[in-house]
A and B are shown apart, each in its own frame.
Chain A
Amino acid sequence: MYSTPYDYLPMAIMAAVAFGFVAVTMAATHLLGPKRKSEVKLDTFECGIESQQNARFPFSIKYFLIAILFVLFDVEVIFMYPWAVNFKEGGLEGFIEMLVFIGILLAGYLYIIKKGALKWE
């Protein structure tokens, strides 16, 4: 199996269409829509709650903890790609190998749940 950069031409076209759609939509709404600027309309709002201060203020470490855990499981997912591509060749052996990998991480997941790290109090 050999692949050349040309094989990614469909992906490049897809990416270009996706970016282009966003860019064209933003430009079009900017150009086509009527502009009625008023103080209330340009006010920052957050679901009807009056805003207190600017956005740059320290917030709870809990968000960061969840982000870290997300990164860890994201790294786990990365190893599933080569496994999934080789699933048939790997056979039962490969399946068990992955099962051990996932099992250890599942222990981590159970630890996180048990510790209540994902609970939001």
Chain B
Amino acid sequence: MTLTVFYLLSALSVFSGLMVVLSRKAVHSVLYLVFCFFTIAGHYLMLNAQFLAAVHVIVYAGAIMVLFLFVIMMLNLNLAAEAQKTPWIKISAVILSGLMLLVLVASVKGAEELSAAQPQNDIGLVKNIGNILFDKYLLPFELISLLLLSAMVGAVLMGRKEPQPQNE
């Protein structure tokens, strides 16, 4: 049963991942990527990592993909103005992604047997994460708020035009 769910989820994530690359329209790619993130959240649940699954759905599928959509809308992707792909770009892309594939395959081959369907421990549960986070890793946790604060200030400073009183 668990193995069946795993294969189903894997097929869905591979399919949606391929569709991200293959679909011609950028917005469709983003929607497939959202679906892909949901299936990966399913994988996290199968690995008994509740917290990661929740983070993945809320932050990645929710917030980051909204950003992606906004970026796509800002990029002025008219169909007529599609980027010219010279042979050199194509060749270098093939070489780069081939190297990437090599690294991925090598790392998976070198790893110990991946037991996806049998979660071994329950460190990934929200309760246990909280126990560690508010005890052992309290300082990093509080520093995160400073990091978020600096990100907020940076976003406001960069994204906001200073008010110009003369032409209001």
Contacts and interface: CB of A to CB of B under 8 A. Distances in A.
Given A79-B144, A86-B131, A104-B149, A74 B155 contact: no
A64 interface: yes
Given A3-B122, A81-B54, A101-B141, A75 B148 contact: yes
A54 B153 contact: no
A81 B126 contact: yes
Interface stretch (B16-24, B67-75, B94-102): B67-75
A85 interface: yes
A12 to B, nearest CB: 8
Interface residues of B, number: 53
B58 A78 contact: yes
A59 interface: yes
B159 A101 contact: no
Contacts of B46: 5
Contacts, number: 150
B78 interface: yes
A78 B54 contact: yes
B160 interface: yes
A31 to B, nearest CB: 24
A6 B117 CA distance: 11
Interface stretch (A20-28, A36-44, A108-116): A108-116
B152 interface: yes
Given A81-B126, A86-B134, A97-B138, A111 B67 contact: no
Interface of A: 1-6, 8, 12, 54-59, 61-65, 67-72, 74-79, 81-83, 85-86, 89-90, 94, 97, 100-102, 104-105, 107-109, 111-112, 115-117, 121
